[in-house]
Structure 1
Amino acid sequence: MATVKSPLLSLPGAVPAEGADEGVAAHYGDIFREQRALADGKGLVDLSHRGVLTVTGDDRLSWLHLLVTQHVSELPAGEATDALILSAHGHIEHALYLVDDGETLWAHVEPGTRHAVTEYLDSMKFFYRVEVADRTDDFAMVFLPAGSIAEVPDGVVVRETPYGRDLFLPRADLDAYAAQNGPVAGILAYEALRVEDHRPRVGFETDHRTIPHELGLIGSAVHLQKGCYRGQETVARVENLGKPPRRLVFLHLDGSEVHLPPPGTPVRLASDGEDGRKLGFVTTSARHHELGPIALALVKRNVPVDAPLMAGDTAASQETVVEP
């Protein structure tokens, strides 16, 4: 599958991102300066590698309501919401970040997933009056941080969230918009602030068996008072029993270590040492301009909330994101 490559990679100092975020810049020469600018409500982040989908037709909201975890049948125009597509066993497959403009439902999805999401939605159209379209070639996602005073061009669809604004910007306008509303921050700055905010990302904080309760997504992306959807039985069972097998935690990492523990690094109790039993794994790690090295991790539900941990050979203290 071809990577959507951003024209902003030609900007001075741009260092390409790797892995899932390939196609945009990891940074533009100063990761901490870029983080501080975003924290101050300045600049923007190029998220043009993300997929953009639209759903049109009179049945678009009532139809999608049957397929996702969120209550969207009466979604007001201009109101942003998040939704998940689950497997039949309740495991997270995809996340959709939604807004309806009154005529079209817009969504952005994780890089590399747009074809799979589009194919699934197309397969579920049946007799409903809906049309699903992949608009990634026409529109690029741009993030403006909370507090930004950057102007949004007329006609551009916006998702307003507590963390900032997601713009569905015409791809042909990306260069000019970045030049007028910079500085541009790389994806590493964006990710560091995401980790600070304890926000899980599908494909990063998830594996093949992750369920919504483990990441604290009940409410924000999963509505408990709605009709049937694929995987609902698992959501209801865990909600009633209150025992998800794992939970998301935030880690403050030992700042004396040169290297960050990469995703997949085993997490153990510090008292058990490096040979102790694996109790979880790092999902995302980052260097923060104020907090130093930080990470998110998935650990077993019964890990004591105040227990010192080890992420590989790096000491870590935890903050509770999801209650055990």
Structure 2
Amino acid sequence: MYGSRVRTATAVVPAAAAAGGSGGGSGAAMSLGDLQLDIPEIDGDIRSLQVEMGAIFNDSGLAATFGRKRQALQALETGLVLVDQSHWGRLRVTGEDRTALLHNQSTADFQRLQPGQCADTTFVTSTARCLDLATALVLPSSILLLVDSREGGEALAARLDKVIFRGDNVMVHDISSRTGQIAVLGPEAEVVLRELAPDVLSGVLSGPPGRHVLVGFRGKPVFVAAVSGLGLSVPGYTLVADEAVAGDLYAAFAAKGAIPMGTDDWEAARIVAGRPTRGSELTEAYSPLEAGLYGAVSLNKGCYIGQETLAKLHLRDGVNRQLWGLRLSGPTSPGAEIYSELSKVGVVTSTCQDADGEWVGVGYLRSRLEGTQIELEGVRVAVAGAPATVTAIPFATRKFSAEAESPAVRAAAVVAATGEEDAASIAARLEEAKRKKAEVQVEKQAATEAKLKAMQERVAAWQAALQQQQQGQQQ
């Protein structure tokens, strides 16, 4: 079969398939439960509902804010927030070779994922530079990719299209314009979902984060995924539905008292969380490890685009730059340079005002000193000539899991980075190097303690001599 990308404008895909049901590849069908929701007496699509809720729209026709930014940002920590993400990109990948395609073209280990699971993955250049971050929802017969912009979805579809060759049984469907996407966020999100459909959603609500389930609503498929709103480090769920019922879902959650959040408010929330986005933090100037996306990267899954460079970065025990938060003195534009004393140490990539009206941002800062990774939280810097403080960002992961740090996996990283084939001897060498490094650290610590003790003894002797001298003068 000749692999191709099916565009929304020309593709004929059944509604169930468009949202991710059966319609390609192999595997058992996922059964549908039924959502029973109380829908308010409001006719219209999501935009009509947003007009009724007081939305202010931007030039792109998206609800930028509802005039309740502070309340919405605070509700992420204390209540329930409703976000329309229908303008995001959604791709459905089908065919028997779908897993192999995404496994080889992105950083996550797709071969280990099972239907019903989710995972973040990054798409990078051959030199491991960032192109985009996606969340993958794995189904029995397809994989759904969600990215945070429609342009990003189109670019990703075009990129995948270029690496689908004759004989590849895989297709990429852009379903963005025929589906809706809604996020319900905050600690009350689970409470509300349990009220709406406790039995149907039990697998998602009681399971670990990253699970998803396909349910039915008014004869249309709806995905409910426990993926924290795709990018914020707060409790939450993302729903992907046929566009015919997206408005009803939005209305149902609004009727539960959810605080609506517009695109400008979401931008502030993602900056506070430190979630990188395409074109700002995710560019070809940075790697996913620098962007704090260790959790979206696997080094032991075999060869893939960018793996060699990522393996070398990992073996070096740290990256030269890292994405960090910034507490700023005032309004600052992206691109502003960050200084420590008289040296440039980084650049600002995004800024906003937080729930308290304070200016904050994220940016890349130099994070290695004399070959050693350094902790930056709390460090004072200058941004655009004004004082600023480096802060932690909840979304970032700065190291691999314990499994990924094992000698066997590090040996696999050496193989990927150098081409050596004797993984067993490499693992033994790494273990020996780790032991010697620990011994050196113990020796350094002992030497430091000895120096400190000698210094303390000299100070004590000096103080005793000074005291004797003072006593002699008094006599």
TM-score normalised to structure 2 length? 0.60
2: CA distance, partners of 1:121 / 1:243: 30
SS at 2:184's partner residue? strand
Partner of 1:285: 351
Matched, 1:224 2:262: no
Change (3 A) 1:6 1:265: farther
TM-superposed deviation, 1:101: 2.3
2: CA distance, partners of 1:123 / 1:203: 21
Partner of 1:171: 243
Partner of 1:207: 283
SS at 2:105's partner residue? coil
Matched, 1:319 2:391: yes
Quick one: which of 239, 247, 250 aligns to 2:314?
239
1: CA distance, partners of 2:261 / 2:73: 7
1: CA distance, partners of 2:237 / 2:291: 23
Letter in 1 for 2:247: D
Q: Deviations over 1:42-71 (max 9, x none)?
A: 131111111110011222223311111000
2: CA distance, partners of 1:196 / 1:245: 23
Q: Matched residue pairs, number?
A: 307
Q: Deviations over 1:135-172 (max 9, x none)?
A: 01111221111430244762311331253222112223
Partner of 1:309: 381
Q: Deviations over 1:15-38 (max 9, x none)?
A: 2346xxx45222111210122233
1: CA distance, partners of 2:247 / 2:223: 18
2: CA distance, partners of 1:173 / 1:68: 32
Q: CA RMSD in A?
A: 2.6
2:181–2:246 CA contact under 8 A, matched in 1 = no
2: CA distance, partners of 1:7 / 1:143: 16
TM-score normalised to structure 1 length? 0.85
Q: Deviations over 1:95-139 (max 9, x none)?
A: 221101222211112311222211221222222321110001111
2: CA distance, partners of 1:23 / 1:51: 16
> Identity of aligned pairs, percent?
25
SS at 1:211's partner residue? coil
1: CA distance, partners of 2:53 / 2:328: 32
Q: Which moved more, 1:156-165 or 1:107-116?
A: 156-165
2: CA distance, partners of 1:25 / 1:282: 26
SS at 1:281's partner residue? strand
Letter in 1 for 2:63: A
1:38–1:185 CA contact under 8 A, matched in 2 = no
Partner of 1:268: 339
1: CA distance, partners of 2:226 / 2:289: 24
1:61–1:74 CA contact under 8 A, matched in 2 = no
Which of these two proteins has the greater Rg computed from alpha carbons?
2
Change (3 A) 1:234 1:17: farther
TM-superposed deviation, 1:238: 0.6
Q: Which moved more, 1:188-197 or 1:242-251?
A: 188-197
5+ residue gaps, structure 2, are 1-44, 198-214, 229-233, 400-475
Q: Which moved more, 1:280-289 or 1:231-240?
A: 280-289
TM-superposed deviation, 1:197: 2.7
1:24–1:47 CA contact under 8 A, matched in 2 = no
TM-superposed deviation, 1:192: 2.9
Q: Which moved more, 1:7-16 or 1:234-243?
A: 7-16
2: CA distance, partners of 1:238 / 1:291: 38
Partner of 1:139: 179
